[in-house]
Structure 1
């Protein structure tokens, strides 16, 4: 591939959700029935999406969003980037999914 050439890859994503990986590691999961599931995995299962660009929606765990709340994970819905959500550990799955646009 030539240096400096930008390539475009097609994606089926209609939206995306960013989840802070640092917050998730601090909680050591924190979600699901036993409290061991990460928020990103919980969202993927709840939205019925898989990893990759062929899914309808993307859930991406990013390095750090810089907020660092206690006992919560920072989440950003790509459809509403003006609202950053602090999801407390053990939050109800249906409640978390209801906060996302077009969930």
Structure 2
């Protein structure tokens, strides 16, 4: 019999969100969308303000959605739907 898969505890707490790295890179030069270009830092600030609803961002390669002035994100709990963040306020909508 083969050995079972080895498992580890995850290094994060809270809800995991996959974010398109290419979308974030395209927003770097836009000062109005700086919060989305640095999504991991923005989420860390969000987590400090909302410690009971923590999120964890994992950057992934392109999701082939490529929204204009936005970042494509995916919630692994609902992998059939991609969401588009167009402002830092949209991060709160991910909790729903």
TM-score normalised to structure 2 length: 0.67
Structure 1 residues not aligned, in runs of 5+ = 49-55
| Offset at residue 43 of structure 1 (A) | 1.5
Higher helix share: 2
- Alignment root-mean-square deviation, CA: 2.7
Structure 2 residues not aligned, in runs of 5+ = 49-53
Runs of 4+ aligned structure 1 residues displaced above 6 Å come to none
TM-score normalised to structure 1 length: 0.63
SS of equivalent residue, structure 2 residue 34: coil
What is the number of residues matched between the two proteins? Answer: 85
* Pairs within 5 Å for 1:1-103: 6-11=5-10, 13-28=13-28, 30-32=33-35, 37-48=37-48, 57-88=55-86, 91=87, 93=88, 95-101=89-95
